Structure 1
Amino acid sequence: MNTIRRRTSGGGDSDNPEGFALYRTEAFEDSYQGVELLLPIALQWRLLEERRRLARAREEDRRVPTLERLRADRDATRAAVARTAQLPAGPGDQLSFIKQFERGMARRDRTRRHPVLKAEEVLRVLAKTATVRNRDEHKRELELMERVKSLGALREVANPARNPDRWARAVANLRACHPHFLVVTDFVVEHVALSMSSKGPLWIPPLHLWGPPGIGKSHYANDLALALGTSLRRQTMENAQTTSLLLGTERHWSTACPGAVFEEIVLGRYANPVFLIDELDKAPANSAYDPLKPLHSLLEPFTAATARDAALDITFDASLAIYIAASNDPNRIPESLRSRFTEFEIPLPRGAHAIQIAQVVAARTVEKLSVPGFLPPEPRLAYRLAHLTPRAIRKAVQGAVARAIVNDRRYLKTSDLPADVLDEDGPKVVLH
């Protein structure tokens, strides 16, 4: 640092002119060598004050960024994000983006393609994303929006009636494999026929299937989705604690992610996928964030047309989604939800239906195990399985196939079935 000192003779009197003193300028702060200058004392004090001021400014600048620097960093970040997101800059670019995103909208066949997003909504979300400062949030949201942009506004509308022969075979299969769901199958067939007559996109009112556990409600929903030619997304409510399962986590959380409805419709292929809401009656009743709350709006086509996913704060059209709820005890479901469903009580299969189901489930179970060279089960085995639920039949047949393989056989014998199944005196779920 710079110092001021008076040089004196041996007698102690100063040799400097009046009002002057030696001013030492060191090359570095820890240096003992420097240059001594004879300067007016008043000037030296001003130089020392300026030196101290500059030192304080450097220290402050090193510790706390200036407001201008913060603003510059913010503007640079926004510009970089906007470039990464390819956010249209001016009205002309925005109009071009809208035309590209909504391409094919005007000429579309309403029965085959349905708009699930508006270009203006995508632009709004992109602009909002450009203001997000957290790097991880940037990356997550930009990746999602890139997928949204690439998919455009339209999604396919599945309707099996466009292929009458295939639809007739699918309906016959539903009736053969799930005879105790005949009334549900007939309900769906009627609405498929209605969609073709009305020249509108296929939509089926929400279904609530309730009955004893293990009778095949989930398997029926899966087969129904296959018959309709659309995708299926299963969401169980047994351990649900928040509303985020269906409509996403709020974007300010570090673990924010889109909900099942957004993923299946906006990021998926179909505008009318099937959502299986399983174990509806087992949703926690006293949860602070009611997991069933989103269903109140999603089950109504009018409000579902403006569904909002929290992760991106984006609004989309989920009005064509098909909902199938499954439960064991409908009395545990709020009446406000039950009123939005068409309800069907599914009974335990009996008599000829029980034998028919046992044959189908046993054959499917063997087929899905994919054991090379294993023969389909003989029809007579169905008589020993018909008193079980479809779930219990699958478990029994899986164990029987394992026993047959252990005994170096590629076919089933009655003795391969579990002992409790063969016990004539054991409990019977269904008598025939």
Structure 2
Amino acid sequence: MTRATTTIPFSTIKFIDNIPRLSDLTEQLTQKLREIRMEINQREPGIMTAGRTQSIYDLITDADTARIRRRAMRYLERLHSSTGIQHLQERDAALLTPLRGGLPIARIVTEHEADEIAAALHAEMPWMAPATEVVWHGLRTSVRRGLPGLRFDPLVLVGSPGIGKSFWARRLAHHLEVPRTSIDATGEPAAFSLVGAQRGWSSASPGKLMQTALRERHSGPVVIIDEVEKAGNVQSTQGSRHTLTDALLPLLERMTAETWECPYYQIRCDMSWANWVMTANSRWGLPAPLLSRCVVLDLPDLTGAQLQVFVEEQGEGRGLPQTAIDATSDAIQRVIVAGRTPSLRTISRMLDRAELLAQRQVLQ
């Protein structure tokens, strides 16, 4: 099914078509003044020309021309200022065109719909039940409150590597039918990657949050931040520090997220409908201000039985023959017997390999 949506204004930008050029506006105002004075002169001959031979050029003086130009410039300055993007270059302003008319957010219509989403997610990854439950209650609450979109509390999933925290977040976005964007806090300047960098930095650009809204034309993505506890700081040549936590805090608070300002475009946007899933391998290194704004869940390691269920579910979903599923399960069981528990990443690669082999044609 296609998820219902609601369109929200999203930004304070005012799009104005066909803003006139200064020369055209000056000419229009000059012509209008000329027509008015000609009409006056026709009613009362000689007033405008002071007894001289009437000419249309006598109706507009140099002082009139200067005054018209000043007024035209003030009018265009106010018009450009009212758009909210007068400070942007033409190319950057054009990139904001998708915001015209607002952007949609996904909406849950009934509590039964929320139940179906949670049930589907739980069937795929039952060991992630604590996280699924938080989302489930958030979706049901969105329905009961009659919200225009869907929301759940920001999540921090704490657990060993390879138990499927990021995979669960991606599957959540799939079942919600919303876009997603991912950030690896260890492999990139996470703060800039998320929100962007303002002009003046050599790497100035919009962040993934804004890029996703513009590319997907959607204002309610699932934002996944992996290994959030390992995010480093970015320091400018002037000595100012930029941390991921500093970038996140105004976005995690709904009231401040409603008027969040993009550092690159310098426009205000409603980011309060973005939903957040962060992952961490431990609580060590997680800042207290971040923890206070999120639901933090400690997740256990996977058991062999849970891994076998995952293989069965994924294998059937990929359309693998039962022999391929059984072979993968046997291989996993041998690893477990040897005293090691494979991660979901390893199992996913095994399933990829089994799928490739199953699709390979055999020479006759």
Q: Same fold (TM over 0.5)?
A: yes
Q: Could you tell me which residue of structure 2 aligns to residue 392 of structure 1?
A: 346
Deviation at 1:149, TM superposition (A): 3.6
Whether 2:7 is the aligned partner of 1:113: answer yes
Residues 379 and 182 (structure 1 numbering): CA distance in 2 closer, same or farther, change over 3 Å? farther
Q: How does 1:118-197 map to 2 (within 5 A)?
A: 118-119=12-13, 123=82, 125-129=84-88, 138=89, 142-161=90-109, 164=112, 168-197=115-144
Inter-CA distance 149–394: structure 2 relative to 1 (3 Å threshold): closer
Map of 2:306 onto structure 1: 353
Read off the aligned partner of 1:199 and give its amino acid letter.
Answer: G
Match of 1:222 among 155, 162, 170: 170
Q: Does 1:299 align with 2:247?
A: no
Q: Of the two, which has the highest radius of gyration?
A: 1
> Do structure 1's residue 289 and structure 2's residue 237 form an aligned pair?
no
Q: Which range moved further: 275-284 or 263-272? A: 263-272
Q: Which is worse superposed, 183-192 or 346-355?
A: 346-355
Counterpart residue number, 1:6: none
Contact 1:111 1:202 survives alignment (8 Å): no
Of residues 216, 220, 231, the one that matches 1:268 is 216
- C-alpha separation between the residues in 1 aligned to 2:160 and 2:95? 42
User: How far 1:214 moved relative to its partner?
Assistant: 0.9
Change (3 A) 1:125 1:267: farther
Pair 381,161 (structure 1): closer, same or farther in 2 beyond 3 Å: farther
Q: Map 1:31-430; keep pairs closer than 5 Å.
A: 112-119=6-13, 123=82, 125-129=84-88, 138=89, 142-161=90-109, 164=112, 168-200=115-147, 201-241=149-189, 243-253=191-201, 255-266=203-214, 268-284=216-232, 288-350=241-303, 352-363=305-316, 375-376=321-322, 377-379=324-326, 381-382=328-329, 384-385=331-332, 387=336, 388-399=342-353, 408=362
Shift of 1:277: 0.8
Ranges in structure 1 where 5+ consecutive residues have no aligned partner: 1-109, 130-137, 368-373, 410-432
Q: Which residue of 1 aligns with 2:18?
A: none
Gaps of 5+ in 2: 16-80, 236-240, 337-341
Aligned to 1:94: none
Distance 1:266 1:115, change over 3 A: farther
> Which TM-score applies when normalising by structure 2?
0.68
C-alpha change, 1:162 and 1:147, in structure 2 (3 Å) is farther
CA distance in 2, matches of 1:405, 1:149: 43
Alignment root-mean-square deviation, CA: 3.1
Letter in 2 for 1:126: I
Post-superposition shift, 1:292?
3.1
For residues 221 and 285 of structure 1, the distance between their equivalents in structure 2, rounded to whole angstroms, comes to: 25
Check the 8 A contact 2:7/2:105 in 1, yes or no: yes
Q: For the residues of structure 2 that align with 1:286 and 1:249, how far apart are their CA atoms? A: 11
Cα deviation 1:224-267 (Å, max 9, x = unaligned) = 01111211101111123363212211123454211122222355
Q: Comparing 328-337 with 148-157, which one deviates more in the overlay?
A: 148-157
> In the aligned structure 2, how far is the partner of 1:403 from the partner of 1:146?
47
How many residue pairs are counted as aligned between the two chains? 281
Q: Residues 276 and 324 of structure 1 are in contact (CA less than 8 Å); yes or no, is this contact kept in structure 2?
A: yes
For 1:208, what is the secondary structure of its paired residue?
Answer: strand
Amino acid at match of 1:396: M
Q: Distance in 1 between matches of 2:103 and 2:358?
A: 48
Shift of 1:183: 1.8
Q: 1:361 Cα deviation (Å)?
A: 3.8
Identity %: 23
Closer, same or farther: CA 247–402 of 1 in aligned 2, 3 Å: closer
Give me the whole-angstrom Cα distance separating, in 1, the residues matched to 2:327 and 2:83: 64
TM-score normalised to structure 1 length: 0.58
Which has the bigger relative contact order, CA under 8 A and spacing at least 6? 2
Q: Give 1:240's aligned amino acid.
A: E
